[in-house]
Amino acid sequence: MDRNLALELVRVTEAAALASARFFGKGDPLAAEHAAVSAMEIAFRGVKIKGHLIMGEENMGNNCTLCTGDTVGTGADPEVDIAVVPLASGRSLANGQANAISAIAIAERGSFMDPPSPYMRKIVTDSEAADSIDLGSSVFDNLVAIAESKRMYVEDLTVSILDDERHGQLIEQVRQSGARIELLREGDLASSIAAALTGTVVDVVMGTGSSREGITAAAAVTCVGGGMQARFLPSPDSDPDSLPGEFKKIYGLEEIVSGVNVMFAATGVSYCDFLEGIDFHHGGATTHSAVFRNKSGTTRYLKTDHFFDKAPDYT
């Protein structure tokens, strides 16, 4: 895949982010998500790929856009697999809160695993501690190992967890370890990416979320050299210790996302732990995006000014 393709993907995430950001704080998450999906679909029309959506929107009936199984792009080479999250944390955005982003992961055919269930329990950290995590070990043992790898005290680690009833025991175990906690109202895609990057406020992500966001995050983690392990669950509140054998397997990052040419792009919609949100101003807006590529190991951050009287042409 051409390296310029990664920058083309940013135009797609920017379009989705700009469309959905207008719903910040307006209390209508469905409208925000619809705007993001519609804008992303239009922007994809001008990208010179034959993209197979292996992780897309759920098909709930007629007129589904960007659904899993759809094809996007102009139909030209290269032929690639794509995972999209047009708007992560749509409810948070609608409530005027943080951590809403638009994201795309792209790789050679067959690079993304087909998840056996829609829910994923995971642990994510950065390159310093990538070799120290073990989803089969206790929360305390993982935090001690991560702290040692990062040459920190456990008490100084920040662990990002979804503030959900199913995570009550996990939250209590992290608190007992002495680590700090960032509780998320919705979605941990942005925090998972932040945890994989060195120099952010998030050191670890733990807990259960959607497989689509987990695999999309895994692409970003792969690109930046972070560490991740996962187990798949049939429901978000499943007890991993009581599940049948097929759900006991712990997957390493290289099993979730493989291949030598993986790209990831994201644009902030509201503020998150690694990107600023969209800033509207007279006649336009400013977006903040990130582009990662595992083949070259590059991480790019882009600040882009958009002018509404000069609308982009996606054809």
Residue 33 to residue 24: CA distance in whole angstroms: 11
Q: Give the three-class secondary structure for 304.
A: strand
Q: Which DSSP letter does residue 179 get?
A: -
- In contact, 195 and 188? CB cutoff 8 Å: no
The predicted model scores a pTM of 0.94
pLDDT in tens, 34-76: 999 999 999 999 999 999 999 998 876 667 789 999 999 999 8
Cα–chain center distance at 263: 12
| Domains of the chain with bracketed CATH | 4-111+261-307 (3.30.540.10), 119-256 (3.40.190.90)
pLDDT given at position 315: 57
**CA–CA distances in Å: residue 289 to residues 16, 200, 271, 292, 300:** 12, 16, 11, 10, 8
User: Phi and psi at residue 203, in whole multiples of 5°?
Assistant: -100, -30
- Output the CA torsion sign for 198, 202, 208, 209: negative
Q: Measure the CA–CA gap between 294 and 220, rounded to whole angstroms.
A: 9
Residue ranges for the chain with pLDDT beneath 50 = none
Angle between helices 168-177 and 139-149 (to 10 degrees): 50
Q: DSSP string spanning 34-59?
A: HHHHHHHHHHHTTS-SEEEEEE-B--
Residue 127 CA to residue 107 CA, distance in Å, equals: 21
The pLDDT value recorded for residue 260 is 85
Paired sense of beta strands 79-88 and 50-55, if any:
parallel
Cβ neighbours for 174, distance < 8 A, ≥ 6 positions apart: 139, 143, 159, 161, 181, 206
pLDDT at residue 248 in the model: 84
Question: Would you give the distance in Å from CA 166 to the centre of its chain?
Answer: 21
Task: Determine the pLDDT at residue 59.
Answer: 75
Q: What is the pLDDT of residue 302?
A: 97
